[in-house]
Chains A and B, each alone.
Chain A
Amino acid sequence: GQQVMQIPQYQHVQEGEDFTTYCNSSTTLSNIQWYKQRPGGHPVFLIQLVKSGEVKKQKRLTFQFGEAKKNSSLHITATQTTDVGTYFCWLFYNQGGKLIFGQGTELSVKP
């Protein structure tokens, strides 16, 4: 069956430092989405990646999809306190149409 690993589980950074979370799948993905959930809030869509090797940017956020479509990363440059929350990857598998959330990476930013 499909397995997903999202790391790290927690990341504590000083404001201004960079942050990266990684999502790794045991099998090839159809596509991947990234969501952010603030404390006490609900998941909010950030981006979708579909093509092998795709890179997308949103201001300080950079999203990458691996060439083999088995892994993805979200990188935040110069974190701010507004970046606090849990970042989840959400995976689509062609085989069986499975939908799975990664375990999430909880980011805390110290001002």
Chain B
Amino acid sequence: DTEVTQTPKHLVMGMTNKKSLKCEQHMGHRAMYWYKQKAKKPPELMFVYSYEKLSINESVPSRFSPECPNSSLLNLHLHALQPEDSALYLCASRLAGRDTQYFGPGTRLTVL
């Protein structure tokens, strides 16, 4: 199983809503990533978890809150987002010690 799954595929939310994005992998990977990608732009790294601990936070606003409940799951909690936060949110995982990243299909988020 070399798959990273993400739910939901699409999400529309208002600026006062609270929602969560979910990412799951069962490859035994111990590093997991959240990226944000705007149209026609490269993915921008948001957060990195290594062995379930947050190791990199690329100065992301606090309205984005990551969580890694266990080695297979990664969540991104969203609260009070702005319309400019609308983007494709990608999750990726990597086997510790090896550098290939496996990306999930992404969640396309629209903030109204």
Contacts and interface: CB of A to CB of B under 8 A. Distances in A.
Contact of B99 (A42, A48, A103): A48
Interface string A76-111: 000000000000101010000101111110100000
A31 interface: yes
B100 A43 contact: no
B102 A45 contact: yes
B101 interface: yes
A68 interface: no
B99 A101 contact: no
A43 B99 contact: no
Contacts of B104: 42
Contact of A99 (B41, B45, B90, B102): B45
Interface string B72-97: 00000000000000000010100000
Contact of B103 (A42, A48, A92, A100): A42
A50 to B, nearest CB: 9
Interface residues of B, number: 18
Contacts of B56: 97, 99
A92 B31 CA distance: 15
Nearest to B101: A45
Interface in B10-43: 40-43
Contact of B43 (A43, A48, A106): A43
Contacts of A33: 99-101
A42 B42 contact: no
Given A42-B90, A43-B90, A101 B42 contact: yes
Contacts of B40: 106
Contacts of B43: 43, 88, 101
A44 B99 contact: no
Contacts of A43: 43, 90, 92, 101, 103
A82 to B, nearest CB: 19
Contact of B42 (A48, A88, A92, A97): A88
Interface in A6-57: 31, 33, 35, 41-45, 48
